[in-house]
Amino acid sequence: MGEAKKKQRHCPAAGRVITAVECGGSRASRYACPADCPHNPWSPANYARALEIEDSLTEKMKRRLEREVSMSSFESPSVHDNSAWKIHNYFLDLFQRRRDANGQTFLQRWQADRFDGLNNDELFLLTRKTQSRLGLIEVHRILDSERVEVVDLLDDNLQPRLIVDRSCASHAVRFLCMLIWYYEMPHYCRFNGNALTIPTLPSLDSLQVLREVIQHLGGPPAPSAQREWIAEHYDRMEDAFHALDAALHEQSLRSMDLRFCTATYRLRADPSDLLRRLDQHPATEPDELNDKEAAEGFCDACVWFDELVPSDHSQLSLNLPADKPPTPGRPVLGRVLVAPERVRIEANSFARYQALRAQFEKSVGRMVEFTEERITDLASQLRDKDRTPFDTSLVPPRLLEHAPRLRMMTSRIDPAAVPQGLSLEDANAHMLQQHYRMFLDEPNPSLGDRTPRQAAADPLWRPRLLSLIKQLVYHHDTRNLHDGRADDINWLLRDLGLTEILFEPPPIRSPLKQEQEDFDEAMELPLPPPLPQRPLTEEEVLNRLRVVSTVFPTPEAMLDAFERDAPELFDLMDVVMKEHSDFMFEMLIMSAGQLWYVFLPPDTRPVSINIERLAKNLSILPETIGQPPEKLDLQWFERMIGGQRQPNVIQLLSANLLEACANKQLRRQVEPDALLGILLFLRALADELDQTLRELHAH
């Protein structure tokens, strides 16, 4: 009797006591379970239990798909050259849209089988997932470590939605905007898959950018039809966004005046007289030389500020709002370097160089004589270095008209302007707040050269100001998240009266660790390419080895990367070679490193191998092909190569290894038994890498 009572519970939805079996089989599907019921897995408080159900459902869907669907009958996406966004949308399409010869989708076939294998919770979750809709999500509030408040900008009424997602809550900032699938649960919403971020433009909001791209790609003009159109053309949308990002970056660099300019003069006066003249100029201050400048023979330097001299308004200056953003401190034109017989001026833009040269020559007169100038276009070098190939036909020309105008600005901060006793981080935050205060009253090109205060009071320009301030808050929150700070910016929104976008700042979160950033970057890399069904040919192996030698200019560079990418493998090699010399260990890791990158090329996503399986196979390998002889003989070597998954790989690497060991200078250091052990290890590792890659791409 006592055990039976333990299995009963009061159900607030049913208004009576029910059994645990009835609860598990009816919650959410038959009964509208309240959020405060401890047995409701879809309560925000039971988020961990919901994740367990989701993992179980995912595994069951995967197993059924493997049993039922012949993947060869579908055009499976290449994992190597497709993003997580495309692959996720592909499988959404596979589960819910693609039909077999009888006109049924995967889910319809499962439904006809009464969703065999699913319990009530899993079936309820699957039903909600199938109702996922694509949204343009804008984050408004980060409530805690699991909950985020958002709106879907594709909705007619911007109703706030509660998202429960730990990953999003740990990384989201206000006004983060992304395309992502989501579905509604009884008390919150869940994201379904990966997000696609929208390129940002200073004068347009994300919805305007999205609709301009849709129109350019031939999508429907009616907003009501655009959601479904995006879902059907997800691959083109992502390609267009990547192309737009690359085009905007290229356009911004093209418009950027980033030229390092120098002019050299012969000094016709005594250096001390020139230095006195420079010291008397109100726009200069003494500056320190760096080691390279001192090595060039310069003995003194001064910095030249971008300031109109009160007594002479005829001098060329850059003191124009359109030419420089508001920056705390004294803006710098450039520097002057003085040597016993020559003088050099330098500036990091052509406009500043022209102004500096005019002011300098007017100030020092005949004390110097111009000899040469050099102009290096750094922006062009950046364009060449960072150029990403993209399809120009995917880029809406109208959006390029809104490309941000980048400007390089240098200023010097007067220590007296910063409160004493502040740490470097607090001093930087103080100066940023000063920058924001100047921003409020500076004409802005994105606002038609109006100040933010003027735009806030103008109904025609207020929407553009809202877009600009959203981006400002987004970048401010991102900086806080990265540094683990909570510096305030809401005072600026209150000052401008922008209460419609005034939301409380995110809670303080731990700063993003470098390891997480490295992981995120690694996850953006493509997976290693799949292997052909046959073994790699000798030419294919040689081509892959050439790539390795190109990417890693020195053996040390390859070994550093190899140890970072395969630390557990290094531990195993250390155990295998513990009885042998450092020389033989180096021979092993060099050969193993080459083998690793033949299968897992550099600049692809890191992949973990099964170390336990490798160690086990290595231990039984001598029984399979025979114990290694005291000296290498041809028959044993042929047996080792013969049963291998990738014989050409082992044959080429073994030949390289044996050739190195035959070197007269190294021959005395070679241990024959260790050499045979290395060959066995390479054989086992090649088998493991081959199996790992095939398993990876089979899923």
Residue numbers in the chain where pLDDT is lower than 50: 1-4, 70-81, 309-325, 514-523
Output the CA torsion sign for 4, 5, 6, 8: positive
Q: Please state, in angstroms and rounded to a whole number, the distance separating the CA atoms of residues 448 and 500.
A: 22
Alpha carbon distance 562, 594 (integer Å): 9
- Cα 668 from Cα 674, distance rounded (Å): 13
The neighbour count for residue 123, using CB atoms within 10 Å, is 17
- pLDDT computed for residue 127 by the predictor: 93
Cβ-count burial of 131 within 10 angstroms (0-12 exposed, 13-18 middle, 19+ buried)?
A: exposed
Q: CA end-to-end span of the chain, whole Å? A: 49
- Answer for the pair 493, 476: CB distance below 8 angstroms, yes or no: no
Residues 609 and 689 sit within 8 Å (Cβ to Cβ):
yes
Q: How many CB atoms lie within 10 A of CB 106?
A: 20
Q: How many CB atoms lie within 10 A of CB 109?
A: 15
Backbone angles phi, psi at 151, to 5 degrees: -130, 155
Question: Is residue 105 within 8 Å of residue 98, measured between CB atoms?
Answer: yes
Helix (H, G, I), strand (E, B) or coil at 334: strand
Phi, psi dihedrals of residue 485, rounded to the nearest 5° = -115, 175
Whole-angstrom distance, CA of residue 486 vs CA of residue 218: 44
Picking from 282, 278, 410, the residue whose alpha carbon sits closest to that of residue 345 is 278
Q: Which helix (H) or strand (E) holds 67?
A: helix 47-68
CA atoms within a 13 Å half-sphere pointing along the CA-CB vector of 551: 20
Q: Which of 536, 697, 692, 696 is nearest to 614 (CA)?
A: 692
Which element (helix H / strand E) includes 682?
A: helix 672-698
Q: Taking the CB of residue 294, how many other CB atoms lie within 10 A of it? A: 12
Instruction: State the pLDDT at residue 308.
Output: 56
Question: Which domains can be identified in the chain, with CATH numbers?
Answer: 1-39 (no CATH), 41-129 (no CATH), 256-386 (3.30.70), 418-501 (no CATH), 518-697 (no CATH)
Give the residue from 210, 244, 220, 243 showing the smallest Cα distance to 136. 210
Residues 6+ apart with CB under 8 A from 435: 326, 327, 328
d(CA 47, CA 162): 13
The one-letter amino acid at 515: E
Q: Which residue has the tokens 């691959």?
A: 235
pLDDT score of 318: 40
Provide the token pair at 457: 């009071």
Spatial contact of 79 and 530, defined as CB atoms under 8 Å apart:
yes
> DSSP secondary structure string, 273-287?
HHHHHHHHSTTEEEE
pLDDT at 406: 65
Return the HEC string of 76-128: CCCCCCCCHHHHHHHHHHHHHCCCCCCCCCHHHHHHHCCCCCCCHHHHHHHHH
Looking at the whole model, is its pTM more than 0.75?
Answer: no
Work out the burial of residue 627: count CB atoms within 10 Å of its CB; fewer than 13 is exposed, 13-18 middle, 19 or more buried: exposed
Tens of pLDDT, residue by residue over 223-274, are 999 999 998 888 899 889 989 988 888 887 777 788 889 999 999 999 999 9
Give dist(CA 367, CA 276) in Å, integer.
Answer: 12
